[in-house]
């Protein structure tokens, strides 16, 4: 089956070898999100995820900006029409979740400013590479809004709550150099070296899919699950085959006495993870990560 991306409006899609480039295509408005672009970004990731001819995705913007974010005029229309607002909310939610659920590594090629929703979709990518003149920020607060579009979700995970609150409550833009320094993005390069860094020098674009996938699957879990490292191991048939674990003295961590006699699934179904076990220190028996194609965080 050959996947056809030509019906997605507001974006340009190009394929070279196993690398799929998605370009936000409204350069006259600095790639502010149009209606068709918003819809496409909420749906295209399902095809990308299932397309066997795609190994890596590059997300970028046409012209001199990555994306100016939401369209202010369209936003005001939705504010004035509650029905339109309610209709658009599930679509906005899908953009965030489908990007997180996509099995293929996504590289953000930040060729210019990434603001508001534009910053969010860049930061949702697995690797973010920016030109040195780019700026990044989420100024929702300047319009009297919280950092919607997933900003309040992804910023704290990348740079911690203290820094995230400072930038999201002030709406200040930061340079790409500063964003790299605080860990918000991965790399900053001169603009004329951006394509070489993204397409030429990046080993992910040439790495075998079966080598990339396990790392990608482990890296982008639900926040509660990401705190639990897991490794494939032999499948135990009974509790006796699992060596009891005892945490540091006084920690209260250890194999729960109420664990069932028979353990089904690989060893990674037993996790010393407070978050995965309802907040109580100790082992959670029977939890294992669900394939991202079946996971829904909402």
Which residues span the domain enclosing 272?
223-285
pLDDT tens-place string over residues 197-254: 999 866 776 554 454 554 455 555 544 444 433 344 444 444 444 444 444 455 444 4
Find all residues with CB under 8 Å of 240, minimum gap 6, and list them. none
pLDDT for res 85: 79
Torsion angle of the four alpha carbons 179, 216, 13, 175, in this order, in degrees rounded to the nearest 10: 0
Task: Tell me how far apart the alpha carbons of residues 185 and 35 are, in angstroms, rounded to a whole number.
Answer: 28
Angle at 158 between CA 227 and CA 219, to 5 degrees: 45
Nearest to 224 by CA among 290, 161, 163: 290
Are residues 21 and 168 both part of a single domain?
yes
**Chain centroid offset of residue 4 CA:** 24
Are residues 84 and 192 both part of a single domain?
yes
The H or E element containing residue 23 is strand 19-24
Find all residues with CB under 8 Å of 152, minimum gap 6, and list them. 146, 168
Are residues 258 and 123 both part of a single domain?
no
Are residues 89 and 161 both part of a single domain?
yes
Task: Tell me how far apart the alpha carbons of residues 218 and 248 are, in angstroms, rounded to a whole number.
Answer: 26
Cα distances (Å, whole numbers) of residue 118 to 37, 112, 138, 169, 269: 12, 10, 9, 17, 37
pLDDT for res 219: 54
Residue 132 has pLDDT above 70, yes or no: yes
Task: Tell me how far apart the alpha carbons of residues 38 and 47 are, in angstroms, rounded to a whole number.
Answer: 16
Domain count, the chain: 2
Q: What is the CATH number of the domain that holds 188?
A: 3.90.226.10
> Phi and psi of 274, rounded to 5°?
-60, -40
Asked whether residue 165 is assigned to any structural domain, the reply reads yes
**Can you tell me the mean pLDDT for 59-86?**
88
Cα distances (Å, whole numbers) of residue 280 to 35, 90, 156, 206, 251: 45, 33, 24, 43, 11
Are residues 205 and 233 both part of a single domain?
no
By CB neighbour count within 10 A (0-12 exposed, 13-18 middle, 19+ buried), where does 141 fall?
middle
Are residues 86 and 136 both part of a single domain?
yes
Domain boundary pick from 181, 209, 237: 209
> Taking all residues of the chain, what is their mean pLDDT, rounded to a whole number?
77
Between helix 82-101 and helix 35-50 the angle, nearest 10°, is 30
Nearest to 49 by CA among 38, 41, 57: 57
**Can you tell me the mean pLDDT for 93-118?**
96
By CB neighbour count within 10 A (0-12 exposed, 13-18 middle, 19+ buried), where does 207 fall?
middle
pLDDT for res 83: 85
pLDDT for res 249: 52
Domain boundary pick from 177, 209, 241: 209
Are residues 197 and 227 both part of a single domain?
no
Neighbours of 143 (CB within 10 A): 13
Residue 259 has pLDDT above 70, yes or no: no
pLDDT for res 26: 96
Nearest to 27 by CA among 113, 92, 106, 88: 113
Are residues 229 and 202 both part of a single domain?
no
**Can you tell me the mean pLDDT for 2-29?**
96
> Phi and psi of 199, rounded to 5°?
-100, -35
pLDDT for res 24: 98
Structure-block tokens of residue 96: 């965030």
Is residue 276 a contact partner of residue 284, using CB atoms and an 8 Å limit?
A: yes
């Amino acid at each position: 089956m050959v996947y056809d991306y030509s019906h997605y409006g507001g974006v340009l899609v190009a394929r070279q070898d196993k690398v799929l480039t998605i370009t936000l295509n409204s350069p006259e408005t600095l790639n502010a999100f149009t209606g068709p672009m918003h819809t496409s970004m909420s749906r295209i990731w399902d095809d990308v995820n299932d397309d066997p001819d795609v190994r890596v995705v590059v997300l970028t913007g046409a012209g001199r900006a990555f994306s100016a974010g939401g369209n202010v005029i369209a936003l005001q229309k939705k504010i004035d029409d509650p029905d339109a607002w309610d209709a658009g909310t599930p679509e906005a939610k899908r953009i965030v979740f489908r990007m997180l659920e996509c099995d293929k590594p996504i590289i953000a090629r930040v060729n210019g400013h990434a603001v508001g929703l534009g910053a969010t979709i860049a930061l949702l990518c697995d690797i973010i590479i920016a030109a040195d003149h780019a700026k990044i920020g989420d100024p929702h607060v300047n319009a009297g809004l919280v950092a919607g579009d997933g900003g309040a979700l992804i910023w704290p995970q990348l740079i911690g709550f203290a820094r995230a609150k400072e930038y999201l409550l002030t709406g200040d833009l930061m340079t790409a150099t500063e964003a790299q320094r605080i860990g918000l993005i991965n790399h900053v390069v001169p603009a004329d070296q951006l394509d070489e860094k993204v397409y030429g020098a990046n080993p992910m674009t040439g790495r075998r899919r079966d080598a990339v996938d396990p790392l990608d699957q482990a890296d982008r879990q639900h926040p509660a699950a990401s705190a639990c490292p897991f490794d494939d191991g032999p499948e135990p048939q009974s509790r006796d085959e699992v060596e009891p674990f005892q945490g540091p003295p006084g920690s209260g961590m250890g194999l729960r006495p109420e664990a069932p006699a028979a353990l089904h699934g690989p060893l990674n179904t037993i996790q010393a993870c407070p978050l995965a076990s309802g907040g109580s220190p100790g082992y959670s028996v029977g939890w294992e990560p669900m394939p991202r194609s079946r996971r829904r965080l909402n």
